[in-house]
Chain A
Amino acid sequence: MNLKELLEKRKTAITKKWFDTVVETYPSDTSRFLKKQKDPFDNPVGSTTLQGVEGMFDELLGNMDQEVITSFLDPIIRIRAVQAFSASKATGFIFFLKAIIRESIKDEIRQNQTDELLSIESRIDELGLIAFDIYMSCRETLFRIKAEEEKKRTFSAFERAGLIKEI
Chain B
Amino acid sequence: MKAKQVAKDEQKLVLALIGNPNSGKTTIFNNLTGARQHVGNWPGVTVEKKEGELLWEGRTIQVVDLPGIYGFGVHSEDAAIARDYILLEKPDVVINIVDATNLVRNLYLTLQLLEMGANVVIALNMYDELRAKGADVDTARLSELLSTPVIPTVATRGQGMKEIISQALEAAKAKGRSPLRIDYGREIEAEISDIERYLSSCPKLAEKFVPRWLAIRILEGDEDLLRVIGGFCDLDEIKTRREAALNRLESIFGEEIESLIANRRYGFIESVAKEVIRRYQATEDQASISDKIDRIVTNRYLGIPIFLLTMWMVFQFTFKLGDPLTGLIEGLFERLGELMGAWLEGLGAPKLLSSLLVDGVINGVGSVLVFVPNIFLLFLAISILEDSGYMARAAYIMDRFMHAFGLHGKSFIPLLLGFGCNVPAIMATRTLESKRDRLITILIIPLMSCSARLPIYVLFASAFFSSHQGLVTFSLYLLGIILAILMGVIFKSFLFKGESSHFLMELPPYRMPTLKSTFIHMWERGSHFIRKAGTIIFMVTVLIWVLANLPIGVEYASQESALGRIGSFIAPIFKPAGFSSWEAAVALLFGILAKEVVVSTLGVVYGVEESGLREAISQNWTPLSAYAFMVMSLIYIPCIATIAVIKGETNSWVWAALAVSYSLILGWLVAVIVYQGGLMLGLG
Determine if chain A interacts with chain B: no
Chain B contact residues, CB within 8 Å of chain A: none
